Amino acid sequence: MTDLTISPISGALGAEISGVDITSPLDEETIAAIRQALLDHLVIFFRDQHFEPDAYMRFARYFGTPAEYPLVPGIAGYPEITEVIKLEHERNNFGGIWHADTNYLPEPPMGTMLNALEVPPYGGDTLFANQYLAYETLSEGLRTSLDTLTIVNTSAKADVSKTREDVIRNSGNDAPVLDHVVEHPAVRTHPETGRKCLFVNVAHASHFKGWTEAESAPLLDYLFQHQVRPELTCRFRWQVGSLAFWDNRAAQHNPINDYHGYRRVMRRITLAGEKPY
Protein backbone atom coordinates (compact mmCIF):
# COMPACT_ATOMS: atom_id res chain seq x y z
CA MET A 1 0.00 0.00 0.00
CA THR A 2 1.10 3.55 -0.68
CA ASP A 3 2.33 5.19 2.51
CA LEU A 4 -0.65 7.45 3.19
CA THR A 5 -0.42 10.41 5.52
CA ILE A 6 -3.76 11.53 6.97
CA SER A 7 -3.67 14.98 8.63
CA PRO A 8 -6.84 16.35 10.29
CA ILE A 9 -7.48 20.02 9.50
CA SER A 10 -9.94 20.84 12.31
CA GLY A 11 -11.38 19.40 15.49
CA ALA A 12 -14.80 18.79 13.94
CA LEU A 13 -14.15 17.16 10.57
CA GLY A 14 -11.86 17.15 7.56
CA ALA A 15 -8.47 15.62 6.83
CA GLU A 16 -5.87 16.12 4.11
CA ILE A 17 -4.38 12.96 2.60
CA SER A 18 -0.93 12.90 1.01
CA GLY A 19 1.46 10.23 -0.22
CA VAL A 20 -0.79 8.84 -2.96
CA ASP A 21 -1.45 9.57 -6.63
CA ILE A 22 -5.19 9.01 -6.95
CA THR A 23 -5.14 9.67 -10.71
CA SER A 24 -3.43 6.27 -11.11
CA PRO A 25 -4.92 2.81 -10.42
CA LEU A 26 -5.05 1.97 -6.70
CA ASP A 27 -4.75 -1.33 -4.86
CA GLU A 28 -7.49 -2.62 -2.56
CA GLU A 29 -5.63 -1.77 0.65
CA THR A 30 -5.18 1.85 -0.39
CA ILE A 31 -8.84 2.12 -1.42
CA ALA A 32 -9.91 0.70 1.95
CA ALA A 33 -7.70 3.17 3.82
CA ILE A 34 -9.14 6.12 1.89
CA ARG A 35 -12.70 4.93 2.51
CA GLN A 36 -12.01 4.58 6.23
CA ALA A 37 -10.55 8.09 6.29
CA LEU A 38 -13.75 9.36 4.68
CA LEU A 39 -15.88 7.62 7.32
CA ASP A 40 -13.67 8.94 10.13
CA HIS A 41 -13.35 12.55 8.93
CA LEU A 42 -16.47 13.03 6.71
CA VAL A 43 -14.52 15.06 4.14
CA ILE A 44 -11.05 14.29 2.79
CA PHE A 45 -8.80 16.43 0.63
CA PHE A 46 -6.02 15.70 -1.84
CA ARG A 47 -3.59 18.13 -3.50
CA ASP A 48 -2.03 18.15 -6.97
CA GLN A 49 -4.41 15.63 -8.54
CA HIS A 50 -4.88 16.56 -12.21
CA PHE A 51 -7.51 14.21 -13.60
CA GLU A 52 -8.40 13.28 -17.13
CA PRO A 53 -12.08 12.25 -17.23
CA ASP A 54 -11.34 8.51 -17.51
CA ALA A 55 -9.07 8.59 -14.47
CA TYR A 56 -11.60 10.65 -12.53
CA MET A 57 -14.33 8.11 -13.26
CA ARG A 58 -12.03 5.24 -12.28
CA PHE A 59 -11.27 6.83 -8.92
CA ALA A 60 -14.97 7.52 -8.27
CA ARG A 61 -15.93 3.93 -9.06
CA TYR A 62 -13.63 2.65 -6.32
CA PHE A 63 -16.10 4.10 -3.80
CA GLY A 64 -19.50 3.83 -5.44
CA THR A 65 -21.55 4.25 -8.59
CA PRO A 66 -21.28 7.65 -10.33
CA ALA A 67 -24.73 9.14 -10.87
CA GLU A 68 -26.02 11.76 -13.28
CA TYR A 69 -27.03 15.07 -11.71
CA PRO A 70 -30.77 15.67 -12.27
CA LEU A 71 -30.67 19.39 -13.11
CA VAL A 72 -27.45 20.02 -15.06
CA PRO A 73 -26.04 17.98 -18.00
CA GLY A 74 -22.60 16.40 -17.79
CA ILE A 75 -19.58 17.10 -19.99
CA ALA A 76 -19.36 15.58 -23.48
CA GLY A 77 -18.99 11.81 -23.29
CA TYR A 78 -19.21 11.73 -19.47
CA PRO A 79 -22.78 12.43 -18.29
CA GLU A 80 -21.79 11.74 -14.67
CA ILE A 81 -19.17 14.52 -14.61
CA THR A 82 -20.70 17.99 -14.28
CA GLU A 83 -18.83 21.28 -14.42
CA VAL A 84 -19.38 23.82 -11.66
CA ILE A 85 -18.36 27.15 -13.14
CA LYS A 86 -18.54 30.77 -12.07
CA LEU A 87 -17.34 33.21 -14.74
CA GLU A 88 -15.75 36.60 -14.23
CA HIS A 89 -18.96 38.58 -14.89
CA GLU A 90 -21.28 36.39 -12.79
CA ARG A 91 -22.43 37.34 -9.30
CA ASN A 92 -24.19 34.14 -8.18
CA ASN A 93 -22.32 30.92 -7.51
CA PHE A 94 -23.73 27.41 -7.90
CA GLY A 95 -25.33 26.02 -4.73
CA GLY A 96 -24.06 29.00 -2.72
CA ILE A 97 -25.77 28.12 0.56
CA TRP A 98 -25.33 25.49 3.28
CA HIS A 99 -26.65 22.16 2.00
CA ALA A 100 -26.18 18.45 1.47
CA ASP A 101 -26.41 17.47 -2.17
CA THR A 102 -29.88 16.73 -3.66
CA ASN A 103 -31.73 15.79 -0.47
CA TYR A 104 -34.86 16.24 -2.61
CA LEU A 105 -34.19 12.88 -4.32
CA PRO A 106 -35.58 9.58 -2.96
CA GLU A 107 -32.02 8.27 -2.67
CA PRO A 108 -29.64 11.21 -2.08
CA PRO A 109 -25.97 10.69 -3.00
CA MET A 110 -23.69 8.86 -0.59
CA GLY A 111 -20.84 11.18 -1.49
CA THR A 112 -19.56 13.89 -3.79
CA MET A 113 -16.16 14.58 -5.35
CA LEU A 114 -15.03 17.98 -6.56
CA ASN A 115 -11.79 18.59 -8.49
CA ALA A 116 -10.42 22.10 -9.09
CA LEU A 117 -9.39 23.02 -12.65
CA GLU A 118 -9.22 26.82 -12.25
CA VAL A 119 -9.36 28.84 -9.02
CA PRO A 120 -9.36 32.57 -8.23
CA PRO A 121 -6.22 34.15 -6.75
CA TYR A 122 -8.07 34.41 -3.44
CA GLY A 123 -11.48 33.46 -2.10
CA GLY A 124 -13.75 30.65 -3.21
CA ASP A 125 -13.08 28.47 -0.16
CA THR A 126 -15.61 25.80 0.86
CA LEU A 127 -16.94 25.25 4.38
CA PHE A 128 -18.02 21.85 5.68
CA ALA A 129 -20.10 20.97 8.77
CA ASN A 130 -20.31 17.75 10.79
CA GLN A 131 -23.93 16.59 11.14
CA TYR A 132 -23.11 13.84 13.65
CA LEU A 133 -21.99 16.58 16.02
CA ALA A 134 -24.94 18.76 15.02
CA TYR A 135 -27.25 16.02 16.30
CA GLU A 136 -25.18 14.97 19.29
CA THR A 137 -24.85 18.52 20.67
CA LEU A 138 -28.64 19.03 20.83
CA SER A 139 -30.43 18.45 24.12
CA GLU A 140 -31.69 14.96 24.87
CA GLY A 141 -35.27 16.21 24.72
CA LEU A 142 -34.90 17.77 21.28
CA ARG A 143 -33.05 14.72 19.94
CA THR A 144 -35.91 12.50 21.12
CA SER A 145 -38.47 14.72 19.40
CA LEU A 146 -36.52 14.96 16.14
CA ASP A 147 -36.10 11.17 16.03
CA THR A 148 -39.84 10.91 15.32
CA LEU A 149 -40.13 13.68 12.69
CA THR A 150 -40.10 13.58 8.91
CA ILE A 151 -38.89 16.42 6.66
CA VAL A 152 -40.45 17.38 3.34
CA ASN A 153 -37.60 18.32 0.99
CA THR A 154 -37.99 20.22 -2.29
CA SER A 155 -35.71 21.35 -5.11
CA ALA A 156 -37.77 24.54 -5.45
CA LYS A 157 -36.32 26.45 -2.48
CA ALA A 158 -35.67 29.92 -3.96
CA ASP A 159 -32.24 30.49 -2.43
CA VAL A 160 -30.63 27.81 -4.59
CA SER A 161 -33.05 27.20 -7.46
CA LYS A 162 -32.27 30.59 -9.02
CA THR A 163 -28.61 29.81 -9.58
CA ARG A 164 -29.40 26.29 -10.76
CA GLU A 165 -31.99 27.52 -13.24
CA ASP A 166 -29.40 30.00 -14.53
CA VAL A 167 -27.00 27.10 -15.11
CA ILE A 168 -29.65 25.13 -16.98
CA ARG A 169 -30.56 28.11 -19.16
CA ASN A 170 -26.92 28.83 -19.98
CA SER A 171 -26.42 25.21 -20.98
CA GLY A 172 -29.00 25.64 -23.74
CA ASN A 173 -31.47 23.24 -22.14
CA ASP A 174 -34.96 24.75 -22.60
CA ALA A 175 -36.83 21.88 -20.95
CA PRO A 176 -39.08 22.91 -18.04
CA VAL A 177 -37.51 22.66 -14.59
CA LEU A 178 -39.34 19.97 -12.62
CA ASP A 179 -39.68 20.31 -8.86
CA HIS A 180 -38.46 17.28 -6.92
CA VAL A 181 -40.29 16.71 -3.62
CA VAL A 182 -39.54 13.86 -1.22
CA GLU A 183 -39.87 12.96 2.45
CA HIS A 184 -36.90 11.91 4.59
CA PRO A 185 -36.34 11.42 8.34
CA ALA A 186 -35.14 14.55 10.11
CA VAL A 187 -32.50 12.33 11.75
CA ARG A 188 -30.96 9.54 9.70
CA THR A 189 -28.78 6.61 10.69
CA HIS A 190 -25.56 6.33 8.72
CA PRO A 191 -25.64 2.95 6.92
CA GLU A 192 -21.91 2.27 7.44
CA THR A 193 -21.15 3.72 10.88
CA GLY A 194 -24.53 3.28 12.56
CA ARG A 195 -24.34 6.78 14.03
CA LYS A 196 -27.27 9.20 13.95
CA CYS A 197 -26.93 12.56 12.25
CA LEU A 198 -29.14 15.58 11.61
CA PHE A 199 -30.54 15.37 8.08
CA VAL A 200 -32.14 18.75 7.43
CA ASN A 201 -30.68 21.67 5.49
CA VAL A 202 -31.73 25.21 4.65
CA ALA A 203 -31.46 24.66 0.89
CA HIS A 204 -34.01 21.85 0.66
CA ALA A 205 -36.06 21.43 3.87
CA SER A 206 -39.54 22.92 3.45
CA HIS A 207 -41.44 21.77 6.55
CA PHE A 208 -42.04 18.85 8.89
CA LYS A 209 -44.57 16.30 7.65
CA GLY A 210 -47.94 16.99 9.27
CA TRP A 211 -46.89 20.54 10.20
CA THR A 212 -47.48 23.75 8.28
CA GLU A 213 -44.54 25.74 6.98
CA ALA A 214 -45.33 28.46 9.54
CA GLU A 215 -45.34 25.93 12.40
CA SER A 216 -42.11 24.35 11.14
CA ALA A 217 -40.18 27.59 10.63
CA PRO A 218 -39.10 28.34 14.25
CA LEU A 219 -37.64 24.88 14.85
CA LEU A 220 -36.10 24.65 11.40
CA ASP A 221 -34.53 28.09 11.76
CA TYR A 222 -32.98 27.02 15.06
CA LEU A 223 -31.60 23.82 13.51
CA PHE A 224 -30.25 25.66 10.44
CA GLN A 225 -28.21 27.95 12.71
CA HIS A 226 -27.17 25.25 15.18
CA GLN A 227 -25.91 22.75 12.60
CA VAL A 228 -23.30 25.14 11.15
CA ARG A 229 -21.88 26.62 14.35
CA PRO A 230 -18.16 27.39 13.87
CA GLU A 231 -17.00 24.62 16.18
CA LEU A 232 -18.80 22.06 13.98
CA THR A 233 -17.06 23.16 10.77
CA CYS A 234 -13.84 23.19 8.80
CA ARG A 235 -12.70 25.39 5.90
CA PHE A 236 -10.80 24.30 2.79
CA ARG A 237 -8.74 26.56 0.54
CA TRP A 238 -8.63 25.34 -3.03
CA GLN A 239 -5.63 25.11 -5.33
CA VAL A 240 -5.53 23.90 -8.93
CA GLY A 241 -5.55 20.11 -8.72
CA SER A 242 -7.19 19.95 -5.29
CA LEU A 243 -9.84 17.28 -4.82
CA ALA A 244 -12.43 17.18 -2.03
CA PHE A 245 -14.46 14.04 -1.35
CA TRP A 246 -17.23 14.36 1.22
CA ASP A 247 -19.74 12.01 2.82
CA ASN A 248 -23.06 13.53 1.78
CA ARG A 249 -24.91 11.47 4.38
CA ALA A 250 -23.34 13.18 7.39
CA ALA A 251 -21.75 16.43 6.17
CA GLN A 252 -23.00 19.68 4.71
CA HIS A 253 -21.00 22.17 2.65
CA ASN A 254 -21.16 25.81 1.63
CA PRO A 255 -19.07 27.34 -1.21
CA ILE A 256 -18.19 30.91 -0.26
CA ASN A 257 -19.05 33.48 -2.92
CA ASP A 258 -16.29 36.05 -2.30
CA TYR A 259 -14.33 36.17 -5.58
CA HIS A 260 -16.34 38.39 -7.93
CA GLY A 261 -14.43 39.26 -11.08
CA TYR A 262 -12.53 35.98 -11.15
CA ARG A 263 -13.14 32.61 -12.79
CA ARG A 264 -13.57 29.33 -10.89
CA VAL A 265 -13.96 25.97 -12.66
CA MET A 266 -14.58 22.64 -10.92
CA ARG A 267 -15.59 19.17 -12.06
CA ARG A 268 -17.93 17.18 -9.87
CA ILE A 269 -18.99 13.54 -9.55
CA THR A 270 -21.75 12.39 -7.21
CA LEU A 271 -22.00 8.77 -6.06
CA ALA A 272 -25.37 7.04 -5.86
CA GLY A 273 -26.76 6.59 -2.38
CA GLU A 274 -29.55 4.79 -0.59
CA LYS A 275 -32.92 5.67 0.91
CA PRO A 276 -32.30 7.32 4.32
CA TYR A 277 -33.70 5.64 7.41
Helix boundaries (H) for the chain: 28-41, 53-61, 131-136, 140-146, 158-170, 213-226
- 89 in active site: no
**179 secondary structure, DSSP code:** P
Catalytic residue among 190, 253, 264, 267: 253
Nearest partner of 202 among 131, 108, 100, 93, judged by Cα: 100
Distance CA 186, CA 147 (A): 7
Distance CA 81, CA 109 (A): 14
Nearest partner of 200 among 212, 211, 184, 214, judged by Cα: 184
- 253 in active site: yes
Distance CA 109, CA 270 (A): 6
Beta bridge partners of 265: 85, 118
- 99 in active site: yes
CA atoms within 13 A on the CB side of 156: 11
Catalytic residue among 41, 99, 188, 267: 99
C-alpha separations of 190 from 84, 185, 228 in Å: 28, 12, 19
Q: Where are the beta strands (DSSP E) in the chain?
A: 5-8, 15-18, 43-46, 66-67, 81-86, 111-118, 126-130, 150-154, 181-185, 187-189, 196-198, 205-208, 233-236, 243-247, 251-255, 264-271
Catalytic (active-site) positions: 99, 101, 253, 268
